[in-house]
Amino acid sequence: MRLLTLFAAALCGTAAVAQEVPIIVKGAGGRFETQLDAKTVVPGFPGDKIRQFRRSSDALIAMLEAMPEVNAPPAPFCNRLKSWIEILPLHGVLGAEIGVMNPINFSGGKCHRMTATGVIFRLNSLSLLLDPQEALMRAGEGEGNWWLVRDAEIANRRIIEIRDAVAFTHGRAPLLIPVSTGRYLRRQIAIEYEGSTVRHQLEARLADLDPTERAAPACLLRTTGALVRDCRAADTVMELNPAYFDKSRPEAVQLLVVETPPSAGHGETADRFAARKAIWNALDHNKFAAMVN
Q: What is the pLDDT of residues 219-247, one digit of tens each?
A: 999 889 999 999 988 999 999 999 999 99
pLDDT at 209 over 70: yes
- Report the predicted TM-score, pTM, of the whole model to 2 decimal places: 0.88
Whether 17 has a pLDDT exceeding 60, the answer reads no
Phi, psi of 42 (to 5 degrees): -130, 120
Give the mean model confidence (pLDDT) for residues 245-255. 97
Do residues 65 and 81 touch, judged by C-beta distance below 8 A?
A: yes
Please state, in angstroms and rounded to a whole number, the distance separating the CA atoms of residues 154 and 127. Answer: 17
Q: Write out the chain in H/E/C secondary structure.
A: CHHHHHHHHHHCCCCCHHHHCCCEEEEHHHCEEEECCCCCCCCCCCHHHHHHHHHHHHHHHHHHHCCHHHHCCCCCCCEEEEEEECCCCCCCCCCEEEEEEEECCEECCEECCCEEEEEEEEECCCCCCCCHHHCCECCECCECCEEEECCHHHHHCCEEEECCEEEEECCCCCCEEECEHHHHHHHHHHCCCCCCHHHHHHHHHHHHCCHHHHHCECEEECCCCCEECCHHHEEEEEEECCCCCCCCCCCCCCEEEEECCCCCCCCCCHHHHHHHHHHHHHCCHHHHHHHCC
Query: Residue 204: what residue type?
Result: A
Q: Does the pLDDT value for residue 251 go beyond 60?
A: yes
Average pLDDT, integer, range 270-282? 96
User: Phi/psi at 181 (nearest 5 deg)?
Assistant: -60, -40
Answer whether residue 5 shows pLDDT above 70. Answer: no
Q: Are 109 and 15 in contact (CB under 8 A)?
A: no
Whether pLDDT at 140 is above 70: yes
Mean pLDDT rounded to a whole number for the chain: 91
- How much of the chain exceeds pLDDT 90, in percent? 81
- Confidence band of 8 (pLDDT split at 50, 70, 90): very low
Banded model confidence at residue 9, pLDDT cuts 50, 70, 90: very low
> CA nearest 240: which of 120, 93, 128, 91?
91
pLDDT at 14 over 90: no
Confidence of residue 12 (pLDDT cuts 50, 70, 90): very low
13 has pLDDT over 50: no
- d(CA 95, CA 42) in angstroms, rounded, equals 10
Round to whole Å and give the CA distance between 30 and 162: 36
Q: What does the pLDDT look like over 84-131, one tens digit per residue?
A: 999 998 899 999 999 999 999 999 999 999 999 999 999 999 988 998
Q: What is the mean pLDDT of residues 138-149?
A: 89
How many of the other CB atoms lie within 10 Å of CB of 27? 13
Say what the pLDDT of residue 3 is. 53
Distance CA 40, CA 47 (A): 7
Query: pLDDT (tens digit, 9 = 90+) per residue, 38-81?
Result: 999 999 999 999 999 999 999 999 999 999 999 999 999 999 99
